Amino acid sequence: MLKRRLLNILKKNTLSHTSQFSFNQNTVSSFSCTGLNKRGMTDLRSPSEPRVFPASGWDIVDPSLPIEEESIPTYRPEKFYPVRIGEIFNHRYQVVGKLGYGSSATVWLCRDLLDHRYIALKVYTASTTATREIEVYNHLRSIQSNHAGQSCLRPLIEIFQTRSPNTECVHICLVHPPLGISLDQLTRLLPHRVMSSAMVRTTIRNILAALDFLHTDAQIIHTDLQPSNILLGIKDNSILSKFEEAEFEAPVPRKTLEDRTVYLSRRLPLSYGTPVLCDLGEARLGTDQQKGDIMPDIYRAPEVILDISWDYKVDIWNVGMVIWDLFEHRHLFRARDPEGNLNDGYHLAEMQAVLGSAPPALLARSERSLQFWDENGKWKGTAPVPDYNLEALEQRLQGDEKGDFLRFLRRMICWLPEERATAKELLFDPWLMHGLFK
């Protein structure tokens, strides 16, 4: 009865998206042409007229100053599609503003001139292949499930290709429903830049619901959980029209170069919607016996650092890392040497302090373990084990609440993957359910 009540609450409080795909094969080259329906007939819906955006009125950025994607160490301008505000993609998506950027893509808010709605357009760099993400979305499309966690995942609307006008490079473009700001952006707006216990609970319930769907019904491991990949849903679409109008009233600063314009991103207003798990670009099909380096560096699970085969429990470790970052004033692990360089020895030494000694069962699985522990499991790494534990690091809570929170956290962050709870088990943890039925 208790589990049924919680599942009903999740169904009521998670976002409801309709996912419409415009492709039906596993290759990028097979996407349908815009403007044609399933029978190949011309779509007779009346399109909106594209808007003419201002040709002046913005601040000019000094061309010598790197901004946005230019500040990425691996940035190569010829690899990025030179998106222009006002440009129309795939004969239907008019760009109205820049939402963000990364090392492999830029993201833009667009008006869908055919369906009269807003969408988020992710334009990949020419050097990036989205094969894995396309494969994952195709797999999700094939699943027949009524799992509530599906609505906590960002769906895909369409994929198409476009050619750069400058280099003739081909760029993959993904179309998603628009979402609000990410959790890392949200925490910067909060008092002391951390969430309350209630906010963490609400957020993590949705993320665990999404993971339970991925792990059980879809057999997918996300591998890249972090606050920047969890976005707030949008309850009131007026914030999108206000975003567009702001570009007319006060165009964003930009840098105009010979072959492109580099824009500053415009942040969306706070949307107060339900958190949604995004970005399946690093996801893996199959929940057992995976290999390879994954996860954001400070979030890596011990089995990943020790080059052991891993499974879906890396996502559970990741949830613990995200919870700590949302609730505490510092990362749980720095994973850096005194010079600030990423260092596996220092990372494992911090884990030794927080989790206690690594169990022999784990060390026996790794050929790397002898670099850091001797044959008896005693730490011998060059990095010193810090003189603290998890109780000392957690300083926001007291008494029973602190004990319950740390017990909940330890169900996720433990050396052995098989000892970590599943997403479904965590959903019914007393700390997470606190206050749910009041």
Q: What is the pLDDT of residues 191-243, one digit of tens each?
A: 899 999 999 999 999 999 999 999 999 999 999 999 999 999 999 999 999 99
* pLDDT number for residue 166: 85
Q: How far apart are CA 56 and CA 53, in angstroms?
A: 9
CA nearest 203: which of 387, 312, 326, 84? 326
Q: What is the pLDDT of residues 15-68, one digit of tens each?
A: 333 332 222 323 333 233 333 333 333 444 678 899 999 999 999 999 999 999
Q: Residues annotated as binding site for ATP? A: 122
Q: Left, alpha or beta for 424 (phi > 0: left; psi -120 to 50: alpha)?
A: alpha
Residue spans of the chain under pLDDT 50: 2, 14-44
Q: Which residue has the tokens 């309350």?
A: 196
* pLDDT number for residue 332: 98
Q: What is the pLDDT of residues 379-396, one digit of tens each?
A: 999 999 999 999 999 999
* pLDDT number for residue 436: 76
The tokens describing 134, both together, are 């396309």
The tokens describing 378, both together, are 């005693």
Q: Residues with Cβ < 8 Å from 192, sequence gap 6 or more?
A: 329
Q: Residues with Cβ < 8 Å from 49, sequence gap 6 or more?
A: 113
Active site residue 224: yes
Q: How far apart are CA 134 and CA 174, in angstroms?
A: 9
For residue 247, the tally of other CB atoms under 10 A from its CB is 22
From the list 112, 212, 224, 325, the catalytic residue is 224
Could you tell me if 278 and 184 are in contact, meaning their C-beta atoms sit under 8 angstroms apart?
Answer: no
Q: How far apart are CA 27 and CA 137, in angstroms?
A: 12
Element (H, E) at 277: strand 272-277
Average model confidence (pLDDT) for the chain?
89
Distance of CA 372 to the CA centre of its chain: 32
End-to-end CA distance of the chain: 16
Q: Residues annotated as binding site? A: 122
* pLDDT number for residue 17: 34
